[in-house]
Structure 1
Amino acid sequence: MRRTSARLKLGGAVAVVTAAATVGGLTAWSGNAAEAEPQTLAVGSPEGYGAGTTGGAGGDVVQVSSEDALVSALETDGPLQIEVTGTIALSDAVDVTSDKTLIGSGTSGVISGATLNVSEADNVIIQNLTFRDSDDDGINVEYSTNVWIDHNDVTGASDGGIDIKRASDNITVSWNHMYDQDKNMLLGHDDDNGSEDSGRLHVSYHHNWFDGTNQRNPRVRFGNPVHVYNNYYDSVGSYGVASTQEAGVLVEGNFFENTEDPFHLGEGDSPGGSLVARDNEFSNSGEGEQGGSVSNPSYGYDLDPASEIPGIVTAGAGVGTI
């Protein structure tokens, strides 16, 4: 019901606005504030460590369909809501500044070719977009706080699908469909970066569909606690979750199917962190490795029964399901 209600709110917000001007490929919209209230393109609201992220809510709404228009919008000072229509092929990485909502229109919004880089930013929402065939990461988050990455499709990045690192904090990664991806989600880029990362890298990963992704779902350094809950691991290749280098990961209420190594301690040259697993379901999968202690998350949340996760997540994750 929450997702249905949110979808209607998005449709209403778009319906009441009226085009004001088109400059440089950027279409700005305005409308009756009373009719459009609440003025937000984002659907729903984040739970977990990214709760409270509002993105560009209250700012102008613009539509973009070209690289130049997207860059111009993302570099704008102050809150802005940016709706992507069609496929935008990037020639280079594009930076996102603070107080931005970036959302795909229907199922048409696609960003390809290079990285969406959330760097030194606060309060960013990325929702309902397809990221494909990046020459590096699909989405990179560094030195940034209060970020919500939700209901996206991510595939074919040459490096990480969604990587989070370098002192970033208070982030939720939810309802994304990840597929045809090797190095999927890295949290913390280096064992020697404790001076920046210790006490930070608090991330909630929930209701994501790891669809044949090979590794790093996620691989975690330093973040403690990191909450990995109600995700669907579907035929994951090398491993699901790895807790390394002073990390503490709570793996809770997930469904692992055809996944030989659901979770373990240590990875490569990185020493093991702590990992606590509870209330997970396993189908044709290994039991995983856990050890140490992990604090409970500092927020309230509703946990879906793990047995129901395959149906819930495949019906609700990715582009076009909000």
Structure 2
Amino acid sequence: MRLSRRRASGAGLIVAALAVSLLTTAPAGSASASPSASSPPPASSPPAVPAATADGFASVDALGQNGTTGGAGGAVVTATTTAQFLGHISRPEPLVVQVSGTITLPTGSRDGMHPVASDKTIVGLGSTARLTGGGLNIGLPASDGVTSPPPNAVHNVIIRNLSFDGATDDLVNIQMFSHHIWIDHNDFSDGDDGAVDIKRGSDFVTVSWNRFHDHDKTLLLGHDDDNAAQDRGRLRVTYHHNHFDASDQRNPRVRFAEPVHVYNNYYRDNSYGVASAMDAGVMLEGNYFHSVNNPARVDFSGDLGRLAARDNILVECNHPVETRGSVVEPRTYYAYTPHRAAEVPAVVPAGAGVGKI
């Protein structure tokens, strides 16, 4: 992969650890950006216990779906071949699809993107389950003319404990008002485009405990500056406890969405962490940034975004976190208990990725 680091040098280097903001009270369920403050050095912490059910936005009851349960209640099948896997993930009924070993996804007529039907759990067995050569598409075919959730929108999908690499397009793409998706404890690398892209009105998604590495354009949330008709008021996503291990950019890059909750992620050696644009509202909380050129930005491309921040630590970063405006408080939607940012360098690498559930 050709990874651009775009490092600044000289006086811009911030060598001390910085914690960015304690929450200040704001009206109407919003959190305002606030100034930086000091934070304690990293501390050891007991390993986190993997969640048995979806949390974050994927846990919210909405759009006729009570949380995200995937294929629960359906048959449990095991795929060891490409034909078995593609047959299982396209079936209409609830199904738990276990992946054993390496499965190569063909390029075919869809540029290697293969559709996943609603009510599916796709889970790797052990620590060696792998999908290579192609990616998974969660959503109906793209259409600019559809501006509200269709009744047949893909929903209720769980993807866990799988390694993805070598796709000719995205590793995972979520689109066209798909909702209640949980992407958890996976390993993503070496895709040609996005690792996990979420766009075109998709909603109530959690991306948690994944490792992203050897990849350039990692997480896109909202694909275009002109797509407000589909995206505004949607794209509610939680990103937590992910290990951005030298994944270069878009960790994530956000348009229109609010709130987007980015908490307890470990960033190491990235060009930039989070970008908020087109009036998106991002809550940045309890993250640890080590050697990141731009940890978080609101002045990026397109219209300015909004970003509120609390308890983030920056080490050897070239620029501070950019904050602007107020953001809807994630606790308006769901309860959660974050780790302290100082615990993140121990907790996240120990728990993120495959073989941990």
TM-score by length of 2: 0.77
Structure 1, 302-311 or 113-122: larger mean CA deviation: 113-122
Aligned-residue RMSD, C-alpha: 1.4
Aligned residue for 2:335? 300
Q: Is 2:79 the counterpart of 1:60?
A: no
Q: Is 2:312 the counterpart of 1:277?
A: no
Residues 3, 44 of structure 1: 8 Å contact kept: no
CA distances 1:292-316 after superposition (whole Å, capped 9, x unpaired): 1111012111010000001000000
Q: CA deviation at 1:185?
A: 0.2
Residues 236, 257 of structure 2: 8 Å contact kept: yes
Moved over 3 A (4+): 1-4
Aligned residue for 1:109? 129
CA spacing shift, 1:124–1:2, aligned 2, 3 Å: farther
Q: Is 2:266 the counterpart of 1:232?
A: yes
**Greater relative contact order structure (CA < 8 Å, 6+ sep):** 2
> Amino acid of the residue matched to residue 299 of structure 1?
Y
Map 1:214-225 to 2 at 5 A. Answer: 214-225=248-259
CA spacing shift, 1:287–1:3, aligned 2, 3 Å: closer
Whole-angstrom CA distance in 1 between matches of 2:299 and 2:195: 21
Q: CA deviation at 1:109?
A: 0.9
Aligned residue for 1:88? 103
Map 1:1-322 to 2 at 5 A. Answer: 44-51=52-59, 52-91=67-106, 92-119=112-139, 120-143=153-176, 144-236=178-270, 238-268=271-301, 270-285=302-317, 286-297=319-330, 298-322=333-357
Q: CA deviation at 1:267?
A: 2.6
Q: CA deviation at 1:246?
A: 1.9
Residues 2, 44 of structure 1: 8 Å contact kept: no
Secondary structure, in 3 states, of the residue corresponding to 1:215?
Answer: coil
Residues 48, 347 of structure 2: 8 Å contact kept: no
TM-score by length of 1: 0.86
CA distances 1:38-69 after superposition (whole Å, capped 9, x unpaired): xxxxx611211001200001110000011111
Instruction: Give the total of aligned pairs.
Output: 283
Secondary structure, in 3 states, of the residue corresponding to 1:259?
Answer: strand
Secondary structure, in 3 states, of the residue corresponding to 1:258?
Answer: strand
Whole-angstrom CA distance in 2 between matches of 1:197 and 1:2: 36
Any stretches of 5+ residues in structure 2 without a counterpart? 1-45, 60-66, 107-111, 140-152
Secondary structure, in 3 states, of the residue corresponding to 1:190?
Answer: coil
Secondary structure, in 3 states, of the residue corresponding to 2:192?
Answer: coil
Whole-angstrom CA distance in 2 between matches of 1:219 and 1:296: 19
Q: CA deviation at 1:260?
A: 2.1
Whole-angstrom CA distance in 2 between matches of 1:2 and 1:72: 37
Q: Percent identity?
A: 48
> Amino acid of the residue matched to residue 66 of structure 1?
T
CA distances 1:235-276 after superposition (whole Å, capped 9, x unpaired): 11x2100000120000000001111210001433x2211011
Any stretches of 5+ residues in structure 1 without a counterpart? 7-42
